[in-house]
């Protein structure tokens, strides 16, 4: 059965609940500057945040600027990140990115999508995370969790990540847009998980449109009341 799009009222309630649950949502990557965030996100492709944090917790006290990482050199950098998947190609991209930051931006992180996406290893998703998390822009980086939650719940149905991204930006009320990226990721990571979603303990099950939620423990009477 296709999932129905959520109504405005459902979306409003959905985000009010997520906000109530996590008033100040944060990325689970450790960082203390836009530069540290950019490098952490670049390293996190197809790797867990935990594995990235383990590496950067040692790397950043030694080198947390573009110039300092260039000074380490590619082999020096690899020593810190070799526990992260795909570390060889990531090390190359980090070094190339740091060189561009030093040559073109005085070591600072540029604040436009075009400039960010021109950096080696930085795609649309990474650019969106940096624009949103470091610079507070209303962008939406759609990862596997957000793609699933958007499609499953009827919040933002789309065939690919770009469709879901555009739909989310369109339907999420302004008051929630900055933090919605983190709320959706955390909801997808800990509750609306891929194989066995925890619908029985989900705080938005009454406004979710996923037809199978009752098989996973959502309570029917409450849902019907809040959907009408």
Minimum gap (Å) between residue 101 Cβ and ligand SF4: 39
Q: What is the Cβ-side half-sphere exposure of residue 57, based on CA atoms within 13 angstroms?
A: 10
Task: Select the residue interacting with ligand SF4 from 40, 70, 94, 202 (CB under 6 A).
Answer: 202
Q: Give, rounded to a whole angstrom, the gap between the first and last alpha carbons of the chain.
A: 19
Catalytic one of 90, 125, 179, 206: 125
* Residue 125 appears among annotated catalytic residues: yes
Reduced to 3 states, what is the DSSP secondary structure of residue 44?
coil
* Residue 225 appears among annotated catalytic residues: no
- Interactions with ligand SF4, residue window 160-199 (CB under 6 A): 191-192, 197-199
C-alpha dihedral sign at 158, 162, 164, 168:
negative
Nearest of 209, 166, 218 to residue 2 by alpha carbon:
209
What interhelical angle do 87-105 and 66-81 show, nearest 10?
Answer: 180
Task: Select the residue interacting with ligand SF4 from 208, 219, 225, 227 (CB under 6 A).
Answer: 208
208 annotated as belonging to a binding site for a ligand:
yes
CA angle 180/150/195 to nearest 5° reads 115
199 annotated as belonging to a binding site for a ligand:
yes
Of the candidate spans 2-10, 57-65, 162-170, 207-215, the one that interacts with ligand SF4 by CB under 6 A turns out to be: 207-215
Q: Is residue 94 involved in binding ligand SF4 (CB under 6 A)?
A: no
98 annotated as belonging to a binding site for a ligand:
no
191 annotated as belonging to a binding site for a ligand:
no
Distant-in-sequence, close-in-space partners of 73: CB < 8 Å, separation ≥ 6: 95
Catalytic one of 49, 96, 143, 198: 143
Residues that bind ligand SF4 (rule: CB under 6 A) add up to a total of: 15
Distance from C-alpha of 139 to C-alpha of 116, rounded to nearest angstrom: 13
Q: Where are the beta strands (DSSP E) in the chain?
A: none
Task: Select the residue interacting with ligand SF4 from 18, 135, 152, 179 (CB under 6 A).
Answer: 152
Q: Is residue 119 involved in binding ligand SF4 (CB under 6 A)?
A: no
Shorter beta-carbon distance to ligand SF4: residue 119 or 192: 192
> DSSP secondary-structure letter at 167?
H
Nearest of 222, 200, 195 to residue 213 by alpha carbon:
200
Shorter beta-carbon distance to ligand SF4: residue 68 or 227: 227
Q: Is residue 207 involved in binding ligand SF4 (CB under 6 A)?
A: no
Residues of this chain that bind ligand SF4 (CB under 6 A): 152-153, 191-192, 197-199, 202, 204-205, 208, 210, 213, 216, 218
Catalytic residues: 125, 143
């Amino acid at each position: 059965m296709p999932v129905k799009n959520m109504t405005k009222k459902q979306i409003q309630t959905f985000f009010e609940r997520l906000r109530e649950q996590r008033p100040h949502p944060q990325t689970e990557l450790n960082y203390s500057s836009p530069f540290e965030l950019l490098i952490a996100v670049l390293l996190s492709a197809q790797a867990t945040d935990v594995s990235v944090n383990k590496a950067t917790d040692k790397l950043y006290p030694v080198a947390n600027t573009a110039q300092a990482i260039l000074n380490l050199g590619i082999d020096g950098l690899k020593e810190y990140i070799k526990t992260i998947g795909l570390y060889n190609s990531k090390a190359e991209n980090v070094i190339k990115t740091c060189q561009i930051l030093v040559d073109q931006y005085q070591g600072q992180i540029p604040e436009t999508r075009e400039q960010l996406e021109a950096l080696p290893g930085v795609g649309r998703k990474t650019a969106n995370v940096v624009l949103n998390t470091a610079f507070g822009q209303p962008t939406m980086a759609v990862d596997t969790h957000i793609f699933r939650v958007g499609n499953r719940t009827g919040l933002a149905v789309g065939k690919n990540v770009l469709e879901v991204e555009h739909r989310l930006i369109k339907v999420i009320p302004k008051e929630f847009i900055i933090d919605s990226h983190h709320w959706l990721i955390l909801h997808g990571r800990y509750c609306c998980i891929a194989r066995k979603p925890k619908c029985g303990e989900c705080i938005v099950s009454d406004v979710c449109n996923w037809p199978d939620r009752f098989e996973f423990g959502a309570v029917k009477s409450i849902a019907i009341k809040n959907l009408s």
